[in-house]
Amino acid sequence: MTPKSIPFENYALLEDEECEARIVAAKAKLGKRCVILGHHYQRDEVFRHADFTGDSLKLSRLASQSEAEYIVFCGVHFMAEVADILSRPEQVSILPDLAAGCSMADMANLTAVERCWKELSEVLDPDETITPVTYINSAADLKAFCGRHEGIVCTSSNAKKILEWSFARKEKVLFFPDQHLGRNTGYRMGIPLDEMVLWDFTQPLGGLSVEAIRKAKIILWKGFCSVHQMFKPEHIDKFKEHYPDTLVISHPEAPFEVCEKSDYIGSTESILKIVHEAEPNTRWLVATELNLVNRLHEQVKHQGKNVHFMSPTICMCSTMFRTDPQHLSWVLENLAEGIVVNQIKVNEADAKPAKLTLDNMLSVA
């Protein structure tokens, strides 16, 4: 008889301290059979239990190389999908809270992208002229779409190399779902702003003229990260009125005007590396998620470094925040009893072409 899972209702009202003890005990019982992955944006109460920490692709690759039977991804839905795609067949990918999605990833769905591709075919032959490039922050079926149309996946750290690869094959790129990563990367490759057009998926033909589409090098999807979107150039100006020697570092998901005023632009891993390796007694204004910024400040303050969150409005990734100690203890205690809850499994029809795009990306970058 299949054992019955322990319902989450038993955990919903538990205090964090009790969850902490239960997580530690369940981890000890599971041993190497389970690996916990903690994304940089995760809250500290969960992040501290991670066996591996980092950005989404790094974590998925580390998990696939581990001995673990169970991969518990403390992140969001698309991350657990990537872990499932890249892991071995016998490994099981789990997301503690199925409601932990990504607002940016949700801005591009397969129906809208296929409609875009069809509408572009009224102007040109997209399969002959356009390479579809999806940011890793996207659903598995969009990665599969790219695989079926000779496209590829990128991350915030390898976007330049991926765009170079794409332009070596075809003259244009359809870049989704994050407009800012595409625009910031393209501009630093020498592509003029007027050759990067914004496709509004709510409008016929993306709200663009035929002439604009034909002229464009990059067609940017009208998507964005709700956290990085809130950073403004005036935040930098105001802060520097008080601390003129501040160094500014921004994630490329931040708006173009913010990145233009930044001293450095980089992925989460790059931000951590640059600030950790910086001279002592420096001050940093950082445009990325709050949990990462606060954690980084604590890690470097003994060197006299001050790390500040760019926006005066305190905001964290609300969907990432859904993964809490209660959900993590629920998942782990079920696993300790041999019960899998919240498995993330990408169907084979999508997994195969999606893995092709991920493998292409890894070979290129």
Q: Which of 72, 47, 31, 112 is nearest to 289 (CA)?
A: 47
Among 226, 254, 277, give the residue marking a domain's end: 226
pTM: 0.94
Q: Do both 56 and 123 map to the same domain?
A: no
What is the pLDDT, as a whole number, of residue 163?
Answer: 98
Q: Do both 288 and 330 map to the same domain?
A: no
Peptide bond between residue 177 and the one before it cis (omega within 30 degrees of 0): yes
Q: 351 in a domain, yes or no?
A: no
What is the pLDDT, as a whole number, of residue 317?
Answer: 76
pLDDT at 152 over 80: yes
**Is 304 strand, coil or helix?**
coil
What is the pLDDT, as a whole number, of residue 320?
Answer: 78
Q: 48 in a domain, yes or no?
A: yes
Average pLDDT, the chain: 95
What is the pLDDT, as a whole number, of residue 203?
Answer: 97
Q: 212 in a domain, yes or no?
A: yes
Q: Do both 214 and 237 map to the same domain?
A: no
Q: 339 in a domain, yes or no?
A: yes
Residue in the block written with tokens 């604590």? 298
Using pLDDT thresholds of 50, 70 and 90, give the confidence band for residue 314: confident
How many structural domains compose the chain? 3
Q: Do both 304 and 245 map to the same domain?
A: yes
Among 173, 191, 226, give the residue marking a domain's end: 226
Q: Do both 33 and 93 map to the same domain?
A: yes
Q: 129 in a domain, yes or no?
A: yes
Give the mean pLDDT of 245-261: 98
Q: Tell me the CATH number at 259.
A: 3.40.50.10800
Q: Do both 87 and 33 map to the same domain?
A: yes
Q: Do both 127 and 96 map to the same domain?
A: no
Q: 2 in a domain, yes or no?
A: no
* Phi and psi torsions of 51, nearest 5°: -80, -35
Q: Do both 266 and 193 map to the same domain?
A: no
Q: 281 in a domain, yes or no?
A: yes
Give the mean pLDDT of 82-98: 97
- Distance in angstroms (rounded) separating the CA atoms of residues 341 and 333: 10
pLDDT at 6 over 60: yes
Q: Do both 113 and 130 map to the same domain?
A: yes
Using pLDDT thresholds of 50, 70 and 90, give the confidence band for residue 191: very high
Q: Do both 70 and 39 map to the same domain?
A: yes
pLDDT at 1 over 70: no
pLDDT at 134 over 70: yes
* Phi and psi torsions of 304, nearest 5°: 80, 10
Q: Which residues have C-beta within 8 Å of that of residue 111, sequence separation ≥ 6?
A: none
H or E element, residue 167: helix 159-169
What is the pLDDT, as a whole number, of residue 2?
Answer: 62
Q: Do both 302 and 235 map to the same domain?
A: yes
What is the pLDDT, as a whole number, of residue 319?
Answer: 76
Among 192, 226, 260, give the residue marking a domain's end: 226
Q: 365 in a domain, yes or no?
A: no
Residue pair 328/118 in contact (Cβ under 8 Å)? The answer is no
Q: Please, which residues bridge with residue 174 across strands?
A: 132, 219
Q: Which domain holds residue 179?
A: 105-226
Q: Which residues have C-beta within 8 Å of that of residue 168, sequence separation ≥ 6?
A: none
How far from chain centre, in Å, is Cα 214? 30
What is the pLDDT, as a whole number, of residue 282?
Answer: 98
pLDDT at 171 over 90: yes
Q: Do both 270 and 337 map to the same domain?
A: no
Using pLDDT thresholds of 50, 70 and 90, give the confidence band for residue 241: very high
Q: Which residues have C-beta within 8 Å of that of residue 206, sequence separation ≥ 6?
A: 116, 119, 197, 198, 199, 200, 213, 219
